[in-house]
Amino acid sequence: MNQKNDKWDELLVKTCGLTSPGMVKSLLSIKECETLLALISKANGNFAKANKPFNGLKIFKDRRQDNSQNERFVNDPPHDNEALTTWYKRFFQGEAFGLIMNFLEVYENEIVEEMAIHVAPLLEKRGTPWAGLSTLFFMGDYGYTPFGVHRDSPGEDGILFHLGPATKIFYIWETDVYNKLTNHAESYHNVEEILHAATPYILEPGDAISFPDDMYHVANTEEFSVSLVLDYRRGAKNTIKERLIKEMLKVNIENNSLLEHVDESELLSALDFQKESEAAVTRLKLRLGSNGGFDKKSRITPFTIDLAGTYKLKAPFRLNVINQQENKVLVFSRGHEIFTRQSSFLVEVIESLNSGESLNLPTLNIEFVPDSPSMTVFEFIIKLGETDVLEKV
In the bound complex, what is the minimum distance in angstroms from residue 58's beta carbon to Fe ion?
12
DSSP 8-state secondary structure symbol assigned to residue 105: G
Q: Using CB under 5 A, which residues numbered 124 to 153 contact Fe ion?
A: 152
In the bound complex, what is the minimum distance in angstroms from residue 91's beta carbon to Fe ion?
24
Nearer to Fe ion, 141 or 337 (CB): 141
In the bound complex, what is the minimum distance in angstroms from residue 152's beta carbon to Fe ion?
5
The answer for residues whose C-beta is within 8 angstroms of residue 221's C-beta and 6 or more apart is 140, 141, 142, 143, 166, 167, 168, 169
Nearer to Fe ion, 82 or 152 (CB): 152
Q: Using CB under 5 A, which residues numbered 251 to 270 contact Fe ion?
A: none
Spatial separation of the C-alpha atoms in residues 346 and 51, rounded to whole Å: 39
Residue 165: is the preceding peptide bond cis (ω within 30°)?
yes
Q: Helices 30-50 and 109-126 sit at what angle, rounded to 10 degrees?
A: 130
Spatial separation of the C-alpha atoms in residues 313 and 189, rounded to whole Å: 48
Q: What is the total count of residues that contact Fe ion (CB under 5 A)? A: 1
The answer to whether the CB of 110 falls within 8 A of the CB of 70 is no
Q: Using CB under 5 A, which residues numbered 151 to 190 contact Fe ion?
A: 152
In the bound complex, what is the minimum distance in angstroms from residue 158's beta carbon to Fe ion?
7
**Residue 213 in contact with Fe ion, rule: CB under 5 A:** no
Nearer to Fe ion, 152 or 272 (CB): 152
The answer to whether the CB of 55 falls within 8 A of the CB of 44 is no
Query: What is the secondary structure of 52-101 as a DSSP string?
Result: ---TTEEEEETTEE-THHHHHHHHS-PPTT--HHHHHHHHHTT--EEEEE
Residues in the chain: 393
Nearer to Fe ion, 148 or 165 (CB): 148
Nearest position to Fe ion, beta carbon: 152
In the bound complex, what is the minimum distance in angstroms from residue 150's beta carbon to Fe ion?
6
Spatial separation of the C-alpha atoms in residues 166 and 164, rounded to whole Å: 5
Nearer to Fe ion, 165 or 212 (CB): 212
Nearer to Fe ion, 107 or 138 (CB): 138
In the bound complex, what is the minimum distance in angstroms from residue 316's beta carbon to Fe ion?
28
User: What are the residues binding Fe ion (CB under 5 A)?
Assistant: 152
